[in-house]
Amino acid sequence: MSHESTLVTQRHFEYLAARTVGDDQFLKQLRADAQAAGIPAIDIAPEEASFLQILLMATKARDVVEVGTLAGYSAVAMARALPRGGTLRTIELNPRHADFARRRIAASDVAELVTLFEGDARVVLATFATHSADAIFLDADKAGYSRYLEEGLRIVRPGGLVLVDNAFAFGQLFHELPTDREAPAVKAFNEIMAKESRLQSVIVPLGDGLWVGVKR
């Protein structure tokens, strides 16, 4: 390489995580209770949540859409970065996850900002108005990503953000025989993002890899 790139190791991740605003008591409890309730512990990393907040604050985002609520961790984190009167619309397919997240969000400090839509994002996103969001965050079934991206590009205003989790395919990006059945879908989606001319995007190596794109 003709330019300098430092290989980011586990130690670098630990180093930066130790120097990032971490979870407060509410988010720690949310993670612990979700795990105890049998919800997969696949929420985004605290440093990734902090970065999402920084992006939303820096761009003065007001209206955000999320695909894949899971337990509500990222919804609460992102809503906290919005101004008063801001909105966060989050979509969850799994009724058990939606039920958990709905209660947690209601008990959070950002309950008034967040609306949970229970159902298939393919159906719900179609009901959202064009250019009605400043940012969209995709963190759901990977086979659906290309479809969600297409809808996201309609819903997000020009200059808005398209953010997508798991660009590193759960750590299996370079595995020849990945054990995760969604890993091939992530790889295919990464190629779509790399070629998507309506966005200027880069993978930020936080958590399991976060695509950050600006809609041109």
Q: Taking contact as CB under 5 A, which single stretch among the options 55-63, 80-88, 99-107, 159-167 is the one that binds Mg ion?
A: 159-167
Amino acid making up residue 47: E
Question: Contact with ligand DHB (CB under 6 A): which of 139, 152, 162, 199?
Answer: 139
Q: Is 208 in the site for ligand DHB (CB under 6 A)?
A: yes
Q: Residue with CB nearest Mg ion?
A: 165
Question: Contact with ligand DHB (CB under 6 A): which of 17, 20, 131, 170?
Answer: 170
CA-wise closest residue to 206 among 2, 65, 15, 41: 15
Q: Is 165 in the site for ligand DHB (CB under 6 A)?
A: yes
Rounded-to-integer distance, Cα 97 and Cα 34, Å? 9
- For every residue of 80-116, DSSP letters joined together read TTSPTT-EEEEEE--HHHHHHHHHHHHTSTTGGGEEE
**Contact, 154 vs 130, CB < 8 A?**
yes
Residue 204 contact, options Mg ion, ligand DHB, none, Cβ 5-8 Å cut-off depending on partner type: none
CB closer to ligand DHB out of 39 and 214: 39
Q: Is 24 in the site for ligand DHB (CB under 6 A)?
A: no
User: CA dihedral defined by 99, 103, 108, 113, rounded to 10 degrees?
Assistant: 60
Mark 166-191 as b/e (b = at least 16 C-beta within 10 Å): bbbbbebbeeeebeeebbebbbebbe
Question: Contact with Mg ion (CB under 5 A): which of 47, 48, 63, 139?
Answer: 139
Residue 24 contact, options ligand DHB, Mg ion, none, Cβ 5-8 Å cut-off depending on partner type: none
CA-wise closest residue to 125 among 161, 163, 177, 89: 89
The single residue listed with the structure tokens 């990977």 is 142
Per DSSP, helices labelled H in 89-201 are 95-106, 121-124, 145-155, 183-195
The single residue listed with the structure tokens 């966005």 is 199
Q: Is 182 in the site for ligand DHB (CB under 6 A)?
A: yes
- What does the per-residue mask of binding to Mg ion show for 160-179, with x meaning CB under 5 A? -----xx-------------
Question: Contact with ligand DHB (CB under 6 A): which of 131, 180, 184, 187?
Answer: 180
Residues in the interface with ligand DHB (CB under 6 A) total 8
Residue 190 contact, options Mg ion, ligand DHB, none, Cβ 5-8 Å cut-off depending on partner type: none
> Using CB under 6 A as the criterion, which residues of the chain lie in contact with ligand DHB when the complex forms?
42, 139, 165-166, 170, 180, 182, 208
| Sites of contact with Mg ion (CB under 5 A) | 139, 165-166
